[in-house]
């Protein structure tokens, strides 16, 4: 069922105290909003888009030089169309997994990235883009903290002084009208917030209480959506909203999600004074509760990503 709702647009360049009620409403209503008037240099996304398209145009043998199987427990590198699963069903996309550039580590999802030899410029573009969008993410979290009635630096002090930052570039080939397959199946994100750049092809859909709504591209904007940990921390006041992608634009679609998550070892507990928990877990796409789980964020994330790449999980984890 389609909905007549729209995704709100927030001018993140304004004073965050003034924006707090607007952010609170967006987080309680859709769990999605656009941000505009941000500090990310406007030339970064077109540069990254062009380099990513150059990489995805290569043959699979060359792209396979940075296959995720070569990334070990760091969980970095390229995967082909159909290898990544959502709810056990192959997505119709390929992509590259990146993260913070770190020395080799036995800790899963930590370590060096795999960068292709062609285009050689992709490495610098990815790392520069990640730094800029991560800074934007911290500003958004300060706004969310104020919306919750907390100090602006609450997340930085409790969860994101040393955040886990993961970044993906996804290429979704065009689907035909009537194709029942999904470029990306219905899912929620796992951490705190996702900051997404998308090209002009569209296809992103968000599940609202009264139906699915489109999140069409807005020039020089980012889509922000909330992850499972914010739903958990707020007792369901803020929702980790299911979303999906169906690329029937007739052209290749690129998207660039950056995930700003709690520290790996962080124990994610309720924020102060969130009120009683909302008992509506049955509405979640997977029927699972983010409230009944206990442990560190790393424990939660490892369980989730292992379901996305079960074959790779068995090989490297």
- In the predicted model, is pLDDT for residue 40 greater than 50? yes
pLDDT value, residue 292: 79
- Can you read off the two tokens belonging to residue 16? 């965050």
Instruction: Note the pTM of the prediction, 2 decimals.
Output: 0.94
- In the predicted model, is pLDDT for residue 277 greater than 70? no
Please name the CATH architecture into which domain 9-316 falls.
Sandwich (2.60)
Q: What is the pLDDT of residues 156-210, one digit of tens each?
A: 999 999 999 999 999 999 998 788 899 999 999 999 999 999 999 999 999 988 8
Q: How confident is the model at residue 1 (pLDDT cuts 50, 70, 90)?
A: very low
Q: What is the pLDDT of residues 85-137, one digit of tens each?
A: 888 899 999 999 999 999 998 889 999 999 999 999 999 999 999 999 999 99
Nearest CA to 192 out of 300, 283, 56, 57 is that of 300
Q: Report phi then psi at 112, rounded to 5.
A: -80, 150
Choice between 316 and 53, residue whose per-residue pLDDT is larger: 53
Q: What are the boundaries of each domain within the chain?
A: 9-316
Cβ of 280: how many Cβ atoms within 10 Å? 9
Mean pLDDT calculated for residue range 243-258: 97
Contact between 115 and 123 (Cβ < 8 Å):
yes
């Amino acid at each position: 069922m389609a909905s007549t709702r729209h995704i709100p647009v927030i001018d993140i360049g304004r004073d965050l105290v003034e924006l707090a009620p607007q952010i609170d409403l967006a987080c309680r209503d859709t769990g999605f909003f656009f941000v505009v008037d941000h500090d990310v240099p406007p030339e970064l996304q077109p540069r990254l888009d062009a380099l990513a398209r150059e990489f995805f145009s290569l043959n699979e043998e060359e792209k396979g030089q940075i296959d995720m199987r070569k990334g070990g427990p760091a969980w970095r590198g390229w995967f082909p169309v159909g290898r990544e699963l959502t709810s056990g069903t192959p997505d119709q996309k390929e992509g590259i997994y990146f993260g913070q550039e770190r020395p080799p580590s036995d800790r899963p999802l930590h370590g060096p990235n795999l960068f292709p030899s062609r285009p050689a410029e992709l490495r610098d573009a990815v790392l520069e883009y990640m730094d800029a969008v991560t800074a934007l993410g911290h500003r958004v979290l300060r706004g969310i903290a104020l919306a919750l009635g907390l100090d602006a630096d609450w997340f930085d002090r409790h969860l994101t002084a040393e955040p886990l930052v993961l970044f993906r570039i996804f290429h979704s080939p065009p689907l035909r009208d009537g194709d029942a397959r999904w470029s990306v199946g219905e899912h929620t994100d796992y951490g705190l917030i996702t900051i997404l750049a998308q090209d002009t092809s569209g296809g992103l859909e968000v599940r609202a209480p009264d139906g699915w709504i489109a999140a069409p591209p807005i020039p020089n904007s980012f889509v922000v959506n909330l992850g499972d940990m914010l739903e958990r921390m707020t007792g369901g006041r803020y929702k980790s909203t299911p979303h999906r992608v169906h690329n029937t634009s007739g052209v290749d679609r690129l998207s660039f999600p950056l995930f700003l998550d709690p520290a790996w070892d962080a124990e994610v507990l309720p924020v102060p004074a969130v009120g009683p928990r909302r008992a509506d877990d049955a509405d979640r796409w997977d029927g699972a509760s983010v409230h009944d789980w206990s442990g560190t964020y790393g424990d939660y994330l490892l369980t989730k990503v292992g379901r996305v790449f079960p074959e790779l999980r068995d090989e490297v984890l």
